[in-house]
Amino acid sequence: MGTRASEAQPRLPITYRRAANGDRDAMLRVLRYANFHHVPSPEMPELDIARFFVAEDGGTLVGVAGYKVTEDGRGKTTLMAVEPAYRGAGVGQRLQELRMDAMRALGCTSVVTNADRPATIEWYKRKFGYREVGTLAKLHEFGDPDVDHWTTLEAPLSASAAGRAKSA
């Protein structure tokens, strides 16, 4: 109602901010919905809280998305999950845009993402300019238990990609 369909804004009154140390338990609660809560583990040794964005609905965390910069200066996403009741409303898109902007601001010109669910892989390719560059065996169960490998995706973080991603 009154919003432009082209804007990447969720229909819900969600707010977004950087995560803070006190968010750790709430972040793990959201990550659990995606079976991404096994931290520390070989797949995810730590949660670098300073490099996460969170989505909140009235003070309750409903989405999380993290990133890092690899030793060769490339962007790398870490974990992202949205609470199931909030999916499909643009929360994931906004979190992805925020972390792509953050990596771009750190000088990264590309970003690598490992994903396992086919629908998520297609979403990354459709919305954010990713292409598949390889696969990687999972070290242990993490994410979708029916998928034993990650599909490695890469997208540019150029200025033009920024313009495309920021439709709002």
Ligand X SMILES: CC(C)(COP(=O)(O)OP(=O)(O)OC[C@H]1O[C@@H](n2cnc3c(N)ncnc32)[C@H](O)[C@@H]1OP(=O)(O)O)[C@@H](O)C(=O)NCCC(=O)NCCS
Binding-site ranges for ligand X (CB under 6 A): 34, 80-82, 87-93, 113, 115, 117, 120, 123, 126-127
The set of long-range contacts for 101-104, using a CB threshold of 8 Å and a minimum separation of 24, is: 101/162, 101/165, 101/166, 102/51, 102/53, 102/67, 103/67, 103/69, 103/75, 103/157, 104/75, 104/157, 104/162
Q: Of 67 and 113, which has the nearer Cβ to ligand X? A: 113
CB of 6 to ligand X, least distance (A): 12
Q: Of 91 and 157, which has the nearer Cβ to ligand X? A: 91
CB of 80 to ligand X, least distance (A): 4
CB of 132 to ligand X, least distance (A): 13
CB of 145 to ligand X, least distance (A): 13
Q: Of 104 and 153, which has the nearer Cβ to ligand X? A: 153
